[in-house]
Amino acid sequence: MRLRFPMKPAVLPFLVVFLVFLSQFAVGIRNIPGRIAGFDIGQFVEAPEYRNGKECASQSSNRENFVSSCDPSLVHVAMTLDSEYLRGSIAAVHSVLRHASCPENVFFHFIAAEFDPASPRVLSRLVRSTFPSLSFKVYIFREDTVINLISSSIRQALESPLNYARNYLGDILDRCVDRVIYLDSDIIVVDDITKLWNTTLTGSRVIGAPEYCHANFTKYFTSSFWSDPGLPGSFSGRKPCYFNTGVMVMDLVRWREGRYRGKIETWMQIQKKRRIYDLGSLPPFLLVFAGDVEAIDHKWNQHGLGGDNVRGSCRSLHKGPVSLLHWSGKGKPWVRLDEKRPCPLDHLWEPYDLYEHKIDRAKDQALLGFSSLSELTEDSSFL
């Protein structure tokens, strides 16, 4: 079934901007012969068109209807875009639009890896054909930006360079973007994203995220960290709590001014020399921000739905309301649905899926061996 909705003429061809900005972070499109041709990213049906209601602040789009990412009425969302998690990203975008009070005011910033097997160009074409009137940009993430900083972690998926893209949003996104919501690709939003966007970051706080102060914070770092005479002192003056970096509201002005990218990289360099944690991109965020995070309502990150990493068991929701579901952990709803062994909550993800040929795809996905983008403890006791 192909959904067809009346559409404006193709007025936004230039919204897909392959940005060549800081040469350090972006490069022009490179074709990687052989890899593109052989990689099937599958087919997605066109999403229904979601339009602004009358109550929405009108965008100051110009005659060509070009929505500039600098428009102050926009809600900015950053996500990674890669062939492996594409189906999740597409469903996530769909869910944001479906529940937004003003869907046309949401601007997506997609970060694609330079060497993705599907190429950033192919990925952005696919986003355009699935969401013809979406305002978005695709930025190219140069993997060599982080490759030398990545240490091996307990789960291979956590070593993917794109996992670290969130550290670089302050550099990658246009300077005029002063706030962004970062979202993992294994989520769906079931509430108005503007509510999350409107979060106040009090004092000088740089990021907002749900905090989990009952989680055992000790286990996110190795004994070599805790036994060091100096390192644990970095938490002095704050009460560090675990937070999940899959959903964050980020003040990019404060981020850039405070040079937080450098602070995170410093910890990654320490990790290279001596192992102070076992996970991938999460611990440096905890080291820099834990205890100094604006605590957002837990409903904005009902995480852990991917289930137990070892046993693949199903998880249930945490108590309370739900605005965002997050399949962090090893299992992904699209894989389990295709394999006909879904967890009960996976059926909540299904209505947002826009993938075609779901049956054929099941085999391919099993071969790809999905695992989590976002990080969770391997211990199932809490999450």
CB of 192 or CB of 350, closer to ligand NAG: 192
Least distance CB 101 / ligand NAG (angstroms)? 6
SS3 217: helix
Gap between the Cα atoms of 101 and 121, Å rounded: 30
> Which residues contact ligand NAG by CB under 6 A?
192, 194-195, 198, 216, 218-219
Gap between the Cα atoms of 168 and 158, Å rounded: 16
CB of 218 or CB of 316, closer to ligand NAG: 218
Least distance CB 246 / ligand NAG (angstroms)? 22
Gap between the Cα atoms of 197 and 206, Å rounded: 14
Least distance CB 195 / ligand NAG (angstroms)? 5
Least distance CB 175 / ligand NAG (angstroms)? 22
CB of 118 or CB of 290, closer to ligand NAG: 290
Those residues with Cβ within 8 angstroms of residue 141's Cβ, 6 or more apart along the chain or in another chain: 25, 26, 80, 111, 112, 113, 114, 161, 162, 165, 168, 172
CB of 15 or CB of 75, closer to ligand NAG: 75
As separate numbers, helices (DSSP H) first and strands (DSSP E) second, the chain gives 12, 11
CB of 58 or CB of 198, closer to ligand NAG: 198
Least distance CB 236 / ligand NAG (angstroms)? 19
209 with 241: CB under 8 angstroms? no
Q: How far is CA 155 from CA 149, 244, 370, 374, in A?
A: 16, 16, 11, 11
CB of 57 or CB of 176, closer to ligand NAG: 57
Those residues with Cβ within 8 angstroms of residue 107's Cβ, 6 or more apart along the chain or in another chain: 67, 69, 71, 74, 75, 76, 77, 135, 136, 137
Gap between the Cα atoms of 203 and 72, Å rounded: 22
At 118, which amino acid appears?
A
CB of 18 or CB of 217, closer to ligand NAG: 217
Least distance CB 192 / ligand NAG (angstroms)? 5
Which helix (H) or strand (E) segment holds residue 187: the answer is strand 187-189
CB of 301 or CB of 377, closer to ligand NAG: 377
The first and second tokens of residue 252, run together, are: 């990019």
344 with 315: CB under 8 angstroms? no
Gap between the Cα atoms of 108 and 133, Å rounded: 12
SS3 183: strand
Least distance CB 187 / ligand NAG (angstroms)? 19
Least distance CB 218 / ligand NAG (angstroms)? 4
CB of 68 or CB of 194, closer to ligand NAG: 194
SS3 94: helix
Least distance CB 248 / ligand NAG (angstroms)? 18
CB of 195 or CB of 205, closer to ligand NAG: 195
377 with 328: CB under 8 angstroms? no
Least distance CB 222 / ligand NAG (angstroms)? 9
Gap between the Cα atoms of 238 and 327, Å rounded: 29
